[in-house]
């Protein structure tokens, strides 16, 4: 059953990585003003954490055959009875929850960095001549 957890971490991690890539590109577009770049990154990462929490809450009630993890499982590893289906949903929920926790911590860290930049007065809009 540890195989299910490993595959779930792989699938959810890949999805979160693509989200992080998009967030990084938006932050890069704000690179002229680091305070606003980190604030935008924090807000989008917070939204990603909210989506992951929602997915964690609904994973327990989702049919395993409608998940990406199901595609990667061998036929012998696919859950067949009710107990295995329940365990599958629990594992998927835990994996989503773990990634949601990490996303929330990253969002909080970005908010702290953003507020630090604002506190020391390092903002493009506050520079002389703008």
pLDDT for the residue numbered 93: 96
Confirm whether 128 is domain-assigned.
no
Confirm whether 126 is domain-assigned.
no
Confirm whether 127 is domain-assigned.
no
Confirm whether 14 is domain-assigned.
yes
- Confidence grade of residue 21 (pLDDT, cut at 50, 70, 90): very high
Confirm whether 130 is domain-assigned.
no
Q: How many domains does the chain fold into?
A: 1
**pTM for the model:** 0.88
Confirm whether 31 is domain-assigned.
yes
The residue range of the domain holding 68 is 2-120
Residue 88 has pLDDT above 80, yes or no: yes
Residue 103 has pLDDT above 80, yes or no: yes
Confirm whether 125 is domain-assigned.
no
Rg (CA), the chain: 19
- DSSP states of 36-104 as a string? HHHHHHHHHHHHHHHHHHHHHHHGGGS-GGGSHHHHHS-TTTS--SHHHHHHHHHHHHHHHHHHHHHHH
Residue 128 has pLDDT above 80, yes or no: no
Confirm whether 129 is domain-assigned.
no
Tokens, residue 46: 């917070």
- Confidence grade of residue 80 (pLDDT, cut at 50, 70, 90): confident
């Amino acid at each position: 059953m540890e195989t299910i957890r490993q595959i779930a971490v792989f699938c959810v991690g890949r999805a979160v990585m693509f989200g992080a890539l998009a967030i990084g590109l938006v932050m890069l577009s704000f690179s002229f003003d680091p305070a606003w770049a980190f604030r935008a990154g924090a807000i989008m990462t917070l939204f990603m954490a909210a989506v992951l929490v929602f997915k964690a809450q609904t994973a327990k009630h989702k049919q395993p055959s409608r998940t990406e993890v199901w595609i990667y499982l061998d036929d012998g590893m696919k859950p067949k009875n009710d107990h295995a289906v329940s365990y599958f949903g629990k594992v998927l929920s835990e994996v989503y929850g773990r990634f949601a926790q990490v996303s929330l911590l990253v969002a909080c860290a970005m908010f702290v960095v953003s507020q630090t930049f604002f506190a020391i007065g390092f903002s493009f809009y506050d520079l002389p001549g703008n």
